[in-house]
């Protein structure tokens, strides 16, 4: 086993441990109640799986901030920074000893699930996480309504952490502006499909809004709720933006380089569907005729040979290496921002999680 493999194995174990506790918390926060069909549809994708990367980052950030051993404190009654002697305020009169950071973690995962349900309708995608998309498993009406229900439930859950009001207000501001930006990013992505002059800066801005803001929210929310200072909140937000953008760029690379069987969908489908990625934006800049790389616009009809040829051309233009380098730079920048945190095991894990996001092969 190489050292990269060993590290990846350790990170995956850490993710798995947190995923298990998050998976227990989801039905507690979102029980299937009347009307059952609505709540079953709302839970459908959440129950179908997912790595729980955003909740993992949130819970690990809480541990790093409070300077406690990973998995040593119950997430449902997690010590505030005042309690740990790291508080930003001397006035601890109204600050509870513990808050429920699991609520914040579930809230973020619920937002993620809501966006997936509505995105699948918008893209008319049939499959998600190996199961039919919600609008296929149920119907359009139920899928729209399930997404809408998760949306308000995420706010309800975030209101239950037991944090002081001023911190709850700040957390809800982050949640609300994050949701708005996700919508804006999705709308921007749609307009890109009709343009052939998207710049790398524009692409990165879109990815920031569509994908990275939720990582940023996951990283900064425990800082807000536990009572860290503004500098720490901002640094963690920046860490999330950096690794979230790197995550998306790496996803775009995987779409070209990982065999279809392993990817769980046709390799190169972004090219077939003319989706803009950092790779195609760069290639176009280098004079590559991106629209002609793949003739067909039918994912079922494309051949592996066609994809191989297209990827070779993108490699020759340096576009894949450009994307890889950008992702690496963003991860390094993100890791540097972690210096606001105390040196501890959870801090280390957050750095390893950042590396994992661009080293994973699926």
Contacts to its own copies by CB under 8 A: 34-35, 37-38, 118, 121-122, 140-142, 144-145, 147-149, 151-153, 155-156, 159, 164-166, 168-169, 172-173, 175-177, 179-180, 183-184, 186-188, 190-191
In the complex, least distance from residue 161 CB atom to its own copies, rounded to whole angstroms: 11
- What is the sign, positive or negative, of the torsion defined by CA atoms of 247, 248, 252, 255? positive
The full 3-state SS of the chain, as one line of letters, equals CCHHHHHHHHHHHHHHHHHHHHHHHHHHHCCCCCCHHHHHHHHHHHHHCCCCHHHHHHHHHHHHHHCCCCCCCCHHHEECHHHHCCCCCCCCCCCCCEECHHHHHHHHHHHHHHHHHHHHHHHCCCEECCEECHHHHCCHHHHHHHHHHHHHHHHHHHCCCCCCHHHHHHHHHHHHHHHHHHHHHHHHHHHHCCCCCCCHHHHHHHHHHHHHHHHHHHHHHHHHHHCCCHHHHHHHHHHHHHHHHHHHHHHHHHHHHCCHHHHCCCCCHHHHCCCCCHHHHHHHHCCCCHHHCCCCCCCCCCCHHHHHHHHHHHHHCCHHHHHHHHHHHHHHHHHHHHHHCCCCHHHHHHHHHHHHHHHCCC
- For its own copies, the closer of residues 30 and 307 by Cβ is 30
- For its own copies, the closer of residues 171 and 327 by Cβ is 171
In the complex, least distance from residue 170 CB atom to its own copies, rounded to whole angstroms: 9
Question: Do residues 14 and 56 lie in contact, with contact meaning Cβ atoms separated by under 8 Å?
Answer: yes
In the complex, least distance from residue 262 CB atom to its own copies, rounded to whole angstroms: 30
In the complex, least distance from residue 207 CB atom to its own copies, rounded to whole angstroms: 14
In the complex, least distance from residue 169 CB atom to its own copies, rounded to whole angstroms: 5
- For its own copies, the closer of residues 143 and 243 by Cβ is 143
- For its own copies, the closer of residues 15 and 228 by Cβ is 228
- For its own copies, the closer of residues 56 and 161 by Cβ is 161
In the complex, least distance from residue 163 CB atom to its own copies, rounded to whole angstroms: 10
In the complex, least distance from residue 1 CB atom to its own copies, rounded to whole angstroms: 44
> Distance (Å, rounded) from C-alpha 12 to C-alpha 145?
34
> b vs e for 296-306, b when ≥16 Cβ sit within 10 Å of the residue's Cβ?
eeeeeebeeeb
- For its own copies, the closer of residues 15 and 226 by Cβ is 226
- For its own copies, the closer of residues 5 and 156 by Cβ is 156
- For its own copies, the closer of residues 169 and 316 by Cβ is 169
In the complex, least distance from residue 162 CB atom to its own copies, rounded to whole angstroms: 12
First to last CA, the chain: 19
- For its own copies, the closer of residues 169 and 312 by Cβ is 169
In the complex, least distance from residue 222 CB atom to its own copies, rounded to whole angstroms: 18
């Amino acid at each position: 086993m190489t050292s990269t493999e060993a590290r990846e194995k350790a990170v995956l174990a850490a993710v798995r441990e947190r995923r298990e506790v998050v998976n227990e918390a989801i039905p507690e926060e979102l029980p299937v109640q009347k009307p059952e069909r609505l709540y079953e549809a709302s839970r459908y994708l959440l129950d179908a799986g997912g790595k729980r990367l955003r909740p993992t980052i949130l819970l690990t950030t809480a541990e790093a901030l409070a300077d406690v051993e990973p998995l040593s404190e119950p997430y449902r009654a997690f010590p505030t920074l005042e309690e740990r002697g790291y508080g930003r305020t001397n006035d601890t009169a109204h600050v509870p000893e513990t808050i429920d950071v699991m609520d914040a973690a579930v809230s973020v995962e619920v937002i993620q699930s809501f966006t997936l349900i509505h995105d699948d309708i918008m893209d008319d995608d049939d499959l998600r996480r190996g199961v039919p998309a919600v609008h296929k498993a149920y119907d359009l009406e139920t899928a729209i309504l399930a997404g809408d229900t998760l949306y308000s439930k995420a706010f309800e859950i975030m209101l239950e952490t037991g944090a002081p009001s001023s911190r709850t207000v700040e957390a809800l501001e982050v949640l609300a502006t994050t949701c708005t930006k996700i919508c804006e990013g999705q709308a921007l992505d749609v307009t890109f499909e009709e343009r052939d002059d998207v710049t790398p800066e524009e692409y990165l801005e879109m990815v920031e809004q569509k994908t990275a803001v939720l990582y940023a929210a996951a990283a900064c929310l425990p800082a807000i709720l536990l009572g860290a200072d503004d500098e720490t909140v901002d640094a963690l937000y920046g860490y999330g933006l950096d690794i979230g953008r790197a995550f998306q760029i790496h996803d775009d690379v995987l779409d070209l380089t990982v065999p279809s069987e392993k990817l769980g969908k046709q390799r190169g489908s972004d090219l077939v569907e003319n989706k803009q990625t950092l790779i195609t934006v760069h290639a176009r800049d280098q004079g590559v005729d991106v629209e002609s790389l793949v003739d067909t616009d039918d994912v079922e009809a494309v051949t592996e040979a066609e994809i191989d040829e297209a990827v070779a051309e993108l490699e020759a233009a340096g576009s894949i290496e450009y994307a890889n380098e950008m992702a690496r730079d963003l991860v390094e920048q993100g890791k540097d921002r972690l210096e606001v945190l105390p040196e501890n095991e959870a801090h280390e894990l957050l750095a390893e999680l950042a590396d994992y996001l661009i080293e994973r092969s699926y």
